[in-house]
Structure 1
Amino acid sequence: MFKKVVITTTLAGTLLFAPSVSEAALGDRTLYNGMSNSDVTELQNVLDDKGYFDYHRATGYFGTVTEDGVRDFQRSAGISVDGVVGPQTVSALTGSKSSSSKSSSYSSNSGTVRYGDRGQTVKNLQSQLKSKGYYSYSVDGVFGSITKQAVRNFQSANGLSVDGVAGPNTFGALSGAASASKSSSSVKSASTSNSSLVSIAKQYIGVPYVWAGTTPSGFDCSGFLQYVYNKAGESIPRTVASIWNATDSVSSPSVGDLVFFETYKAGPSHAGIYIGNGQFIHSSSSYGVTISDMDNSYWAPRYLGAKRV
Structure 2
Amino acid sequence: MIYEYALEPAVLTSWASNNRDYAEFLREYGLGTARIVSSFPKKKASKLRSYLLQHCPQDAQSLTGQRYTEMVLKVVESIVVRDVQVHNTAEWAEAAVIENRRAPFDVILSSTGIQEGNNVTPASMYSQGSIWNHSGQVNISRTNEGLLGAVLNLIRLADARIVIVDPFGWTVEAISFIQFMLQSITNNRVSERLPAIMLFYKEKRGSGNSGNGSPSADHVRQQIFQALTFDVSDLQLEVFELRETENNDVFHNRCILTEHGGVITGHGISVSGDDSHTDEAILMKPEIYQKKWRQFIEQICFQIVSEARV
> When the two structures are superposed, what TM-score results if normalisation uses the length of structure 1?
0.25
**Larger relative contact order, structure 1 or 2 (CA cutoff 8 Å, min sep 6):** 2
Structure with max Cα Rg: 1
Structure ranking higher in helix proportion: 1
Structure ranking higher in strand proportion: 2
